Every structure is written in C-alpha cells, then in structure tokens.
Amino acid sequence: MIKDCDMIFVTVGTPQKSNGSIELSMIKKAVAVIGRVLVKSKKNPVIFIKSTVIPGTLQNVILPILEKKSGKKAGRDFGLVSNPEFLQESSAISDTKNPHAIVLGGYKTKYMKKAQNFFSNLHPNVPIIITNHQTAELIKYANNSFLATKISFVNQLANICQNIPGANIDDVARTIGLDPRIGKLFLNAGPGYGGSCLPKDVKAIMNFSSKIGVSPLFFNAVEKTNQQQIELIIKLIEKNCGNLKGKNISILGLAFKPKTEDIRDSISLKLIEKLLKKQVKVSVHDPMAIENVRKKFKNKIKYTNSISDVLKDSSCGVIMTAWPEYSKITNRDIKNMKKRIIIDSRRILNNTKLDCVYTAIGIGN
C-alpha cells in the first residue's frame, strides 16, 4: 500500500524512557520499513513525521535511515516534512478537522510546496507556518510545555487561595482568563496535569535542554509544582482524617481526564501508590478506566461500580477526575460513609446541602 502513496504520515508513539528522554525504536522501525518500500516504488512521496521528536531527530536520525534503506535522496526522490500534531484526547477528530495552525518543517523544495498546497486546500482559513525541521520539532514541545506551565501556574495560585479564607481560585482564573494576553484555556486548577503528552514532553524538553547545555530551571519548577499537588491532597486527607494507616479512602476518578479510559501518567494512580505506602485501604471508581487500573494494581485495591459503593465505609472520598457523575453526588450516596468527608480537587460538586465536611482545592477555608 505504501508504495502507491503520494503522501505518507508517520504517527507512531515516542514513549518516555526512565531518564526523561524519548524512545525512538518504533519510529526508527517505521521509517526503515518505508525506506525499503521506496526502493521498488515509482512514486516520489512526501513523508510527514507527526510523531513528537526532539529537535534534530529528523535530520540526524530519520533522514539518514530513509536514504540508506531506500537508496534514494531526500529533496530529489522524496520529501521529508516535520508536521507535528496538536490533538487533545477525546477531541482528536474535531481537532484534526479544525486545527488552530499547521506547522510544516523542512527544506523549501517542490515537496514542501506540495505539502503547503495540500493543507491549504484542506484547511483554507488556517495559518500555515513553514520553517525548518528543528524549529518545527521544537514548536511541539514549546506548545505542550506552555500548557503544562499554565496548569502549574494556576495550581500554585489555587494553593495560595487555599490559605486565604473565602478566596476562590475559579474567580481568579476566570478573571485573568479574560485578558487576551493570557486566555481562558488551561486555567482550571486541580490535582495536576497528567496524560500521555504533557508529563512526557516536559520531561523530554528538560532532558534535551540539559544535553545542549541549557539549565531547565523554569521547567524544573513547572514539574515540581505539579508533583507537589499530590502531596497537598494527601495533607488535606491527613488533616481531616488523622493517621491514615488502615483507614478506607475512596478515589473517585482514575482516568487523567473525563471521556477517556486513558490512565497514562494519571495523577490518581500516583495518589493511590502513595496511599498504599501509608497502608491505606483504597477503593476506586471510574466510569471508564476501572479495567485499565485493575491491570496495574490487581488485588491491592478495591474496585467498585457505583458512587455509593466506593464511598461505603470510607473515611474520606477524594474527587480526582471531573466526571459529570461526581458533580451530582447526593446525601444518599454518602450516607454509608464511616466519616462524611469529601475532598474535591476539581471543585465540581454542585450540591451545597451535602451533610459532610467539604474541602475543595483552591477554595479558602
């Protein structure tokens, strides 16, 4: 199939290694296959690399593999263009149809012109940024690192609000979001950022920055602030429940965001791990992610199918993911709790008449 294509899109994953750098084995394998196919192909395709890779990867890793395996020359026999994607999980199709920008990185050859014409026709009103390979690669990391920065920034403000009686982080975030220089997106304070992109990309840019001799002081602070959110939640639980050893604690929400079963780098899982180290009896609930979590923790925690079940005999319930179901918790759901304590890391609980001790991250007590 590849040998008959005019355009080839490479979208394989680049997962994180233990040191924060990215794993390139899958993309190396993919482009090697493409290179071998090009040997017998009469086409002169444009090869788009959508996978997230650090600056220099296309020039120093991918291009040499393609040329060696194919015996052909980039710019003459085929085109190689960096085309990073900016998709959000649970809205990927919509984001593909309605991108905010198109980034094309590579040499200004006939293949780049072909790529530009393709995307101009596909998205006639969307800005197209044409640059070189390494800048296009960096743009993706800059984008995700800035989003992570906004989250850590608003979480730091939320922690300040937590210690000012009556202060409300949502009012603060909503107001500064009206400033066009700031914008309203990614200013929703919570337990920290997670998922398959932001944690990985922040660590990767930190690792890359250090390798080229630039100390990543700012990114270190962004990551440290994110990690401290979990400690804040544990302190809130301990403040309300005392010594946690042997107590039942309920976690409501396991996926890193609503409308997905994805638990990669989910803050909920990190919280569970820390609670287990404190010998806590953990019960969990999530509308979609239970089975994925079961594969990780097996019989170390209790899995439930309803909100009332996860809260039964619990000393504290912690809302971690902003599933709509959790905004509708009632007194009937909490009536069988051992202690009626709810910690709402997302501030989504709408029922102000709940018969419980209620604490929300970012709302000063």
- pLDDT tens column, 136-164: 999 999 999 999 999 999 999 999 999 99
Residue 112 — φ and ψ, nearest 5°? -65, -40
Q: What is the mean pLDDT of the chain?
A: 95
- 305 with 332: CB under 8 angstroms? no
Q: Which two tokens stand for residue 146?
A: 């800035």
Same domain, 126 and 223: no
Q: Looking at 197, 241, 316, 356, which residue is catalytic? A: 197
As a whole number, mean pLDDT of residues 109-113 equals: 96
Residue 146 — φ and ψ, nearest 5°? -70, -40
Does residue 189 sit within a domain? Answer: no
Does residue 222 sit within a domain? Answer: yes
Instruction: Report the distance separating Cα 64 and Cα 72, nearest Å.
Output: 10
Domain holding 271: CATH number? 3.40.50.720
For the cut 90, the answer to whether the pLDDT of residue 135 exceeds it is: yes
Same domain, 18 and 121: yes
Domain end marker among 131, 151, 182: 131
Domain count, the chain: 2
Does residue 147 sit within a domain? Answer: no
Residue 197: active-site member: yes
As a whole number, mean pLDDT of residues 200-204 equals: 95
Domain, as residue range, for 96:
2-131
Does residue 168 sit within a domain? Answer: no
Domain end marker among 131, 157, 178: 131
pLDDT of residue 228: 95
pLDDT confidence band for 352 (50 / 70 / 90): confident
Same domain, 20 and 126: yes
Residues above pLDDT 90, as percent of the chain: 91
Same domain, 65 and 204: no
Over the stretch 187-198, which tens digit does the pLDDT of each residue have? 999 999 999 899
Instruction: Report the distance separating Cα 178 and Cα 322, nearest Å.
Output: 23
Same domain, 229 and 347: yes
Does residue 165 sit within a domain? Answer: no
Same domain, 212 and 346: yes
pLDDT confidence band for 18 (50 / 70 / 90): confident
Domain end marker among 109, 131, 153: 131
Same domain, 109 and 239: no
Does residue 276 sit within a domain? Answer: yes
pTM for this prediction: 0.92
For the cut 90, the answer to whether the pLDDT of residue 182 exceeds it is: yes
Does residue 169 sit within a domain? Answer: no
Identify the H or E element spanning 123: none
Same domain, 326 and 227: yes
Residues above pLDDT 70, as percent of the chain: 100
pLDDT of residue 172: 98
Over the stretch 115-134, which tens digit does the pLDDT of each residue have? 999 999 999 999 999 999 99
For the cut 90, the answer to whether the pLDDT of residue 365 exceeds it is: no
pLDDT of residue 239: 95
As a whole number, mean pLDDT of residues 262-269 equals: 95
Instruction: Report the distance separating Cα 59 and Cα 315, nearest Å.
Output: 56
pLDDT of residue 234: 97
